[in-house]
A and B are shown apart, each in its own frame.
Chain A
Amino acid sequence: MNPIEPAAPTPETAAPALAAADHAALAAQAEAAAEAEAAAEAGLPQASGAAAGAGAAAAGGAAVAEAAGAGAAAGAGDAAGAGAAAAGGAAVAEAAGAVVAGAALAGAVAAGSGADGAAGVLALEAEERRKRRRLTLVLALLLILITLLTLVSAWYLIFRRPLTDLLPPTSQNAPPTYLFSIYDASKPVSVAVSGAGDRVYVAQTAGDRLVAIFDGSGHELGDLQPPADNLPHTPANVAVDPRDGDVYVSDRATGAIYVYSSNGSYLRMFEPKVPIPGWQPLGVALSPTGSWWITDLSAPYHRIEVFAQDGTLTATIGAAGMFDFPNMIAFDATGNAYVTDSNNGRLVILDPAGQVLATVGRGAAPGNLGLPRGVATDPTGRLYVVDATGQLVHLYRAGTSADWRPVFINEFGSEGIGNGQFSFPNGIAVDSRYRVYVTDRENDRVQVWGY
């Protein structure tokens, strides 16, 4: 037999227990009645209630004792104990009657606990404490929930974006899906976006030929006005300095890079400290170490120049014949650079010192390139390369030290004018929300993709 199971009552043991319980209950009733009479003589106001309670408790004890006799779980000893406790004294009976203020509950406590009256009170207090703790816990959870909901609501009201925007892609191999387009862009060739995605800068090469500023929903906020120097300005590539939000715009025709504040005010020109004759900057990107990498199409050959923040030329990458119209540059977290060597039809991967690690070129295999132009990396280190004549975007996973060649994992887009289709895509940018912005030049729009 399991030692923790109580012994089942038998008719032989239950009969004397019933008799004892009945006797104890009658004794308690008699004693309580006597005390009630005494109290009434003394003029105590609670006398009748106390007597009633005591009587009720005694009756309860008798009732439970009967239940025990009918084979209830409570043992005969317990029932007898309950009767004895009820008969134990008027004070205890009074206390029981005052606390529970009900005959049935008093009887249940007295019989069910199987303890004496003091133990029953303690059990009640413990139960009350448990209830309070549970209530406190529920209230705390509700408070936390309300706080979270308030924060989410505030975030939504401020940014007008669903919470899923903050979540990383569910699969590292999955391409983004088309979300919406930013129209009112005239022959856009490049795009840059603030980290939070609340400012989108689009270089337009037709119309007013300015860099237009849009908010994250595609509403135009203004544009970047170059200095009034009577020169033929045409923005080529745009980059955002994540440190202060300044916007850098290259202009090959005027041989300059113009710098604007995040709100669109013209600040200054970024210039080589020692002028470079015929400087023709095109691609602009900030390395993780804070140096500016700029593709230069001027004589004697196309190359990448690395500048300190003050314009000091610190390195030149690319010998004669290496690059043919290098267009854009992106960096990964390790500082490796990805350069679209456009007219050579390849992507060149460079280490932070400018040494070639690998290339991705033309060919028939998935991920091979035609006319690569825009390039960007996302927060998980994935690489996006725009193929302007392929009318799509290639998606790669960064290589490793074992093989730095990026691993093709997917592609998205096709030729056309519908949603998710391109007509000569060119520039690309990715924000911290994994939103992918692609300039769709001949369709006069910027497509926004996401996960």
Chain B
Amino acid sequence: MRRLALLLAGGALWLLLAAAPALADNGPHHQGASPITDGCSGCHRAHTGQNPGLLTNAQTSLCFTCHGTTGTGATTDVQDGVQYAPITTSQVTTTTRTGSGTTYAGALRGGGFDKAVIDSSLTGAGSTGANAGKVGSLTQFALTTSKHSVDLAGTAWGAGDISSTADAGASVTLTCASCHDPHGNGRYRVLKPTPDNAYTGAYTGITPSQSFMSNVNIGDVSAYVYTTTDYWHPEDSNSTGSTSYIANVSAWCASCHTRYLAGATSGSNASGDAIFSYRHTTTGNSFAGNASTAPTCVQCHVAHGSNAAVGTNSAAVPLPGSSAARGANSSLLRIDNRGVCQKCHHK
């Protein structure tokens, strides 16, 4: 009997400790450091859930209740791509408005699903466009021209092994929780170490030889102070270091977009893939802003949606594995047309 009691007590302790990581992070659905278990019922039902994940409601609608356009429950508005003042006034992008003199929010670095406020213009030959591609002060929303669609089937471009048979990628349907852990996990933007829909094949022929099935841990700093400058930008001190966002984010994106991960010589050596044959390197972990260094995914692309414009030539570029022109699809690029090329190559 005593042994059984000890076993039960040990089991209870284990369950408590196991639950702690899910509650310890200052994620959006837990207040402070104290686990409030009643919060579970705000989103879940143990036996009567009406949606996957035991959710009471459709996941996207649930997320948008706080992270929607009015920002009634969060500092991030992922529909409009707005980042409201997080903690202190020093982190607020200051813009004087006529008649008020007050300041307000800036833009979300990943853009928004419906709208975005990215300064996407880059004009003049050889221009580096100091602000181009940055997310700056909130001036006016612009409709997105491309996005990671949620709740709609789309192609995970490049998902899969290197193959001589043309295959652009698997069809997947993303949700917010495909990439983010709503319970909090101590990682940057509560990103899942391995996103849902990650490619689960053999990863043959992928270079560099990175273990994609391993978790990609992107460190965070405490108290929601993610970064105060543009982390994707070369001047950002947060862009270096083995646990930094920049050092790891390409591997994280490649969990789904497998064949886009390419080493330093991939631009001059054919991969053997029918579609993704010669590829720009994406494995850099520093960005000096010139052609001799390798960028990462997020130095050219945003995660949610971009308002970059697409010109005639860019619009004529077909989507991978297709002969049809892409039209206004900006491929989540930060800068109009192919301005991201100019940022480093200055042609």
Contacts and interface: CB of A to CB of B under 8 A. Distances in A.
A248 to B, nearest CB: 15
Contact of B61 (A275, A373, A424): A424
A297 interface: yes
Contacts of A371: 42, 65, 73
B50 A415 contact: yes
Given A231-B140, A236-B70, A389-B43, A275 B57 contact: no
Interface in B136-163: 138-141
Contact of B39 (A255, A325, A345, A373): A345
B68 A277 contact: no
Contact of A362 (B39, B50, B91, B98): B39
B84 A277 contact: no
Contacts of B74: 325
Interface string B35-59: 0101101110000001000001110
Nearest to A282: B72
B104 A254 contact: yes
Contacts of B57: 389, 391, 415, 423-424
Nearest to A206: B69
Nearest to B88: A299
B124 interface: no
Given A232-B140, A253-B105, A300-B89, A363 B38 contact: yes
Given A280-B84, A324-B31, A362-B38, A342 B102 contact: no
Interface string B246-265: 00000000000000000000
A229 interface: yes
Contact of A253 (B71, B89, B99): B71
Contacts of A144: none
A441 B73 CA distance: 15
B70 A278 contact: no
A109 to B, nearest CB: 87
A300 B90 CA distance: 10
B344 interface: no
Contacts of A391: 56-57
A253 B103 contact: no
Given A278-B92, A280-B105, A299-B89, A187 B69 contact: yes
B56 A389 contact: yes
B84 A297 contact: yes
Contacts of A298: 85, 89, 92
B87 interface: yes
A17 B137 CA distance: 121
A325 B72 contact: yes
B117 interface: yes
B100 interface: yes
A423 B140 CA distance: 30
A99 to B, nearest CB: 88
Nearest to B75: A297
Of the candidates B77, B85, B102, the one having the most CB atoms from chain A within 10 angstroms of its own CB is: B102
Given A231-B97, A280-B84, A415-B56, A255 B102 contact: yes
Looking at chain B's contact residues, is the secondary structure mostly helix, strand, loop, or mixed? loop
Contacts of A300: 87-89
Contacts of B92: 277-278, 298-299
A190 B192 CA distance: 34
Contacts of A232: 80, 82, 115, 117, 138-141
A388 interface: yes
Nearest to B115: A232
B88 A373 contact: no
A271 B99 contact: yes
A343 to B, nearest CB: 6
A44 B50 CA distance: 107
A205 interface: yes
Interface in A269-305: 269, 271-272, 275-280, 282, 297-300
B140 A230 contact: yes
Interface string B76-116: 01001010110111011010011111111100000000010
A342 B72 contact: yes
A104 B89 CA distance: 107
Contacts of A187: 68-69
Contacts of A272: 102
A209 interface: yes
B62 interface: yes
A187 B65 CA distance: 11
B39 to A, nearest CB: 7
B61 A278 contact: no
A224 B245 CA distance: 43
B97 A278 contact: no
Given A230-B140, A269-B99, A389-B62, A345 B38 contact: yes
Given A299-B89, A441-B65, 18 more contacts: A189-B70, A203-B70, A231-B140, A232-B140, A234-B69, A252-B70, A252-B84, A253-B77, A279-B103, A280-B104, A298-B85, A299-B87, A327-B72, A343-B31, A345-B38, A362-B36, A364-B38, A389-B42
Interface of B: 31-32, 36, 38-39, 41-43, 50, 56-58, 61-62, 65-66, 68-74, 77, 80, 82, 84-85, 87-89, 91-92, 94, 97-105, 115, 117, 138-141
State the 6 A-B residue pairs at the shortest beta-carbon distance, nearest first.
A255-B104, A362-B38, A205-B69, A232-B141, A236-B70, A275-B101
18 contacts: A189-B72, A203-B70, A231-B97, A232-B117, A253-B104, A255-B102, A275-B100, A275-B102, A277-B92, A278-B104, A279-B104, A298-B92, A389-B56, A389-B62, A423-B57, A441-B61, A441-B65, A442-B61
